[in-house]
């Protein structure tokens, strides 16, 4: 699977979960995916929680071709096995 195909596959997962794609950048290098930016739902009535990010992580890692996944989020940090919102 090429970088463009893998990027599209990851994008489909994020769109399926109603994320605002204007706030996220997907970078693919080989089988490594890096997701940068902010996790914001496109539906305002759905808040983002650590559980939402854990679920996204599971779905993206299950995508064919993804061997490694790194998150570089502005608004969340992975600390001691849990996602925590960063202080503004």
User: Quick one: pLDDT at residue 43?
Assistant: 77
Separation CA 50–CA 74 (nearest Å): 14
60: which residues sit within 8 A by CB, 6+ positions away? 10, 13, 14, 33, 35, 66, 69
Residues paired with residue 32 on neighbouring β-strands, in sequence order: 29, 68
pTM over 0.85: yes
pLDDT digits over 17-56, tens only? 999 999 999 999 999 999 999 999 987 777 889 999 999 9
* Average pLDDT of the residues in 62-70: 96
* Average pLDDT of the residues in 59-64: 96
* Average pLDDT of the residues in 55-83: 95
What does the domain layout of the chain look like in residue ranges? 3-85
What average pLDDT does the chain have? 92
User: Quick one: pLDDT at residue 61?
Assistant: 97
User: Quick one: pLDDT at residue 88?
Assistant: 64
Architecture of domain 3-85: 2-Layer Sandwich (3.30)
Q: Which H or E element spans position 60?
A: helix 50-61
Separation CA 10–CA 81 (nearest Å): 23
Whether 66 contacts 31, CB under 8 Å: yes
Residue whose pair of structure tokens reads 């939402």 in the numeric block: 52
């Amino acid at each position: 699977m090429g970088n463009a195909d893998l990027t599209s596959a990851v994008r489909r997962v994020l769109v399926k979960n109603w994320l605002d794609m204007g706030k996220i950048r997907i970078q693919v290098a080989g089988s490594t995916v890096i997701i940068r930016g902010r996790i914001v739902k496109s539906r305002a009535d759905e808040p983002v929680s650590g559980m939402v990010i854990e679920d996204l992580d599971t779905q993206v890692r299950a995508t064919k071709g993804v061997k490694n996944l790194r998150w570089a989020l502005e608004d969340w940090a992975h600390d001691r096995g849990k996602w925590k919102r960063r202080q503004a």
